[in-house]
Amino acid sequence: MSYQALARKWRPGNFAEVVGQVHVVKALSNALDQQRLHHAYLFTGTRGVGKTTLARIFAKCLN
């Protein structure tokens, strides 16, 4: 049995599992649904608000 950090173990895997940040999730999922993607997205904010998590989910949806 391998050790896995709690932050990685319980990290959301899709947009439906993200808690909070409703406006950001809605904007990103609408962009994916309508195939209207920009060249770059800038995720900013303080530590712990979900920037990396949302970026990983968004990248997974693009592939």
Residues 14, 32: Cα–Cα separation, whole Å: 13
Residues 9, 45: Cα–Cα separation, whole Å: 23
Per-residue pLDDT of the chain (63 residues; tens, 9 = 90+): 688 888 888 999 999 999 999 999 999 999 999 999 999 999 999 999 999 999 999 999 998
Q: Give me the pLDDT at residue 2, please.
A: 83
pTM, full prediction: 0.86
For residue 24, the surrounding DSSP H or E stretch is helix 22-33
Coil, helix or strand at residue 53: helix
Residues 9, 1: Cα–Cα separation, whole Å: 14
